[in-house]
Amino acid sequence: MKKVLLAVILISGCGKAEEKISDEVTISVLNECAATITFYNNHTGAQYSKDIFDCEYVSVLRIKVAPGTYKVKAETSQGKTVTKTFTKSIYAETLHIEF
């Protein structure tokens, strides 16, 4: 009985770890309805990814980002900008941007 219980615990534990590994970053923008979100490689400065957040269509923006350190720049059409450093691990992450 102990061997069966141990096997069930090991299998269920492995399944949970695999589910969490993800390149997904969920981005929420506060105090603005639309912004262009750009990820730059923190070491080289090269643009990695770019997308547009628009609250009329979605409440959060989901993008795929490989693990690493990035400079994230959010810019509105009125010229307001927010820049922050973001470190992506191998797990799903959430990034809040507040103007």
**For residue range 73-88, what is the model confidence (pLDDT) as tens digits?**
999 999 999 999 999 9
**For residue range 6-62, what is the model confidence (pLDDT) as tens digits?**
333 444 555 554 557 999 999 999 999 999 999 999 999 999 999 999 999 889 999
* 68-75 β-sheet, strand order: 47-54, 34-41, 68-75, 81-88
* 49 contact partners, CB below 8 Å, separation of at least 6: 38, 39, 63, 64, 65
CB-CB contact of 72 with 85 (8 Å): yes
Largest separation between any pair of C-alpha atoms in the chain: 66
The Cα 95–Cα 52 span in angstroms is: 14
Per DSSP, helices labelled H in 1-99 are: 2-20
Position 98 scores a pLDDT of 96
